[in-house]
């Protein structure tokens, strides 16, 4: 039963190969080859010989001729001069020469990456036996006319239940290389498929060297769909190849608009660029201090925050922080106190609001610039202060 099963499996493989051959009729890369190889042959330890029992190895020299029917399918005949080692009935190591001949059906993978093969061999060493074999191999390209053969094969005896295997290394010389067929041009646009980047070009459309429709006005829209084929160079166009009249709605067509992203609601000149007016901006801040104190009591006061935001909005501005005191006290004391008040306010601007210190200058006036010359508490309160004024001329977009 086991032998019948093995024969049925081999028959099924042959039938499958025949069906696949009928379906594959592509031209092979080369039509035939001659080859020569060295073989290492390993016998099954249980394999019997009439004069003894097989040992574990043998060596052979193989010559072969192969013929490719298609790109995928081929057949070959082989002859191997084989020498096997064995142990004779007296227990001594011995060896005997013989031969192995046979045929294989071969299947090459795409681009000849590797191939599978299977066939029948007749081996005559000490005694004759018929073997079925399967294997895998590759023809390695080393030169236009030379290939390296590498193969591994397994063998099964049809009469006895044992298995051998072999490893083969050699050289093959291919013959009858296929003649390249004329390049195809599927869409008949004059550009072969291998170079055609637009393989489905409609009939009659003019194409460039890549097989794509020509764009005569270089507006990015192919001639086949360009409804405005003579758009001036650099003009922005829509999907039909026609100029966008005024993308930013500033009253200047895009072909003449030098500032294509003008904000909405501002005036523009003939080139589509914003018209600016010069405007003077100014802010004044006054901060009061307690009697004989240089501490800024409320550094997060809204007026102080507003002043800091103004400085950030107009980063080219600078400021002079003026420190003042009321009249009571000595002139020297009041001068020092006014300088400390100005310095402390600068520190708040730098540390709390992130204003660069180089933009802020401080000066102390002591009691020399009183706002109120009175001798009462209210006069003293308004005189204890710092004051700072920032003014700048900036460009502001003119509104429509």
> How many residues are given for the chain?
400
pLDDT digits (tens, 9 = 90+) for 16-63: 444 444 444 467 778 899 999 999 998 887 776 665 555 557 899 999
Residue 271: band (very low, low, confident or very high) from pLDDT cuts 50, 70, 90: confident
Q: Classify strands 385-397 and 163-177 as parallel, antiparallel or unpaired.
A: unpaired
Q: What is the DSSP letter of 336?
A: H
Is the pLDDT reported for residue 286 higher than 70?
yes
DSSP alpha helices (H): ranges in the chain?
Answer: 2-23, 302-313, 331-351, 377-383
Structure tokens at 39: 């073989």
Is the pLDDT reported for residue 2 higher than 50?
no
**Inter-residue contact 250 to 268 (CB < 8 Å):** yes
Question: Which CATH number applies to 278-397: 3.40.50.970, 3.90.1150.10, 3.30.30.10, 3.30.1330.60?
Answer: 3.30.1330.60
* Per-residue pLDDT at 265: 77
CA dihedral sign, ordered 291, 295, 300, 304: positive
* 54-58, 218-222, 231-235: range with lowest mean pLDDT: 54-58
What is the CATH code for 24-177? Answer: 2.40.160.20
* Per-residue pLDDT at 263: 78
Residue 202: band (very low, low, confident or very high) from pLDDT cuts 50, 70, 90: confident
Q: What are the Cα distances from residue 323, in Å, to 27, 92, 137, 341, 380?
A: 98, 119, 96, 6, 14
In sequence order, the 6+-apart residues with CB closer than 8 A to the CB of 10 are 118, 132
Locus of tokens 């029948």: 120
Q: If 0-12 CB within 10 Å is exposed, 13-18 middle and 19+ buried, where does residue 17 land? A: middle
Cα separation, 249 vs 247, in Å, equals: 6
Query: Strand, helix or coil at 140?
Result: strand
Q: What is the DSSP letter of 268?
A: B
Q: What are the sequence ranges of the domains in the chain?
A: 24-177, 278-397
pTM strictly above 0.75: no
Q: What is the DSSP letter of 207?
A: B
- Directed axis angle between helix 302-313 and helix 331-351, to 10°? 60
Cα separation, 151 vs 137, in Å, equals: 4
Residue 198: band (very low, low, confident or very high) from pLDDT cuts 50, 70, 90: confident
* Per-residue pLDDT at 20: 42
């Amino acid at each position: 039963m086991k032998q019948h099963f093995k024969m049925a499996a081999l028959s099924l493989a042959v039938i499958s190969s025949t069906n696949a051959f009928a379906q594959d009729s592509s031209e092979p890369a080369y039509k035939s080859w001659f080859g020569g190889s060295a073989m290492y042959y390993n016998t099954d330890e249980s394999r019997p010989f009439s004069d003894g029992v097989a040992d574990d190895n043998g060596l052979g020299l193989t010559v072969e001729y192969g013929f490719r029917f298609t790109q995928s399918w081929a057949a070959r005949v082989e002859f191997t001069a084989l020498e096997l080692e064995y142990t004779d009935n007296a227990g001594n190591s011995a060896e005997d020469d013989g031969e192995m001949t046979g045929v294989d059906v071969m299947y090459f993978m795409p681009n000849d990456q590797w191939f599978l093969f299977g066939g029948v061999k007749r081996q005559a060493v000490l005694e004759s036996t018929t073997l079925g074999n399967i294997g895998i191999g590759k023809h390695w390209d080393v030169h236009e006319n030379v290939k390296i053969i590498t193969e591994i094969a397994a063998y099964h005896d049809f009469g006895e239940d044992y298995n051998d295997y072999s490893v083969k290394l050699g050289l093959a010389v291919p013959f009858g290389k296929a003649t390249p067929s004329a390049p195809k041009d599927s869409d008949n646009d004059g550009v072969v498929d291998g170079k055609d980047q637009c393989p489905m070009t409609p009939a009659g459309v003019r194409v460039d060297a890549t097989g794509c429709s020509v764009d005569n006005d270089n507006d990015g829209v192919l001639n086949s769909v360009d409804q405005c084929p003579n758009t001036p160079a650099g003009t922005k166009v829509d999907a039909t190849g026609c100029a966008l009249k005024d993308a930013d709605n500033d009253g200047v067509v895009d072909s003449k608009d030098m500032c294509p992203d003008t904000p909405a609601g501002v005036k523009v000149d003939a080139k589509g660029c914003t018209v600016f007016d010069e405007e003077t901006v100014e802010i004044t801040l006054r901060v009061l201090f307690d009697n004989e104190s240089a501490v800024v009591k409320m550094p997060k006061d809204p007026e102080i925050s507003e002043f800091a935001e103004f400085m950030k909005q107009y980063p080219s501005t600078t400021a002079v922080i003026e420190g003042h005191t009321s009249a009571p006290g000595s002139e020297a004391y009041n001068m020092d106190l006014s300088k400390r008040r100005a310095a402390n306010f600068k520190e708040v601007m730098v540390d709390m609001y992130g204003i660069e210190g180089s933009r802020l200058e401080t000066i102390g006036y002591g009691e020399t610039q009183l706002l109120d010359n009175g001798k009462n508490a209210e006069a003293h309160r308004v005189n204890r202060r710092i004051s700072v004024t920032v003014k700048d001329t900036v460009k502001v977009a003119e509104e429509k």
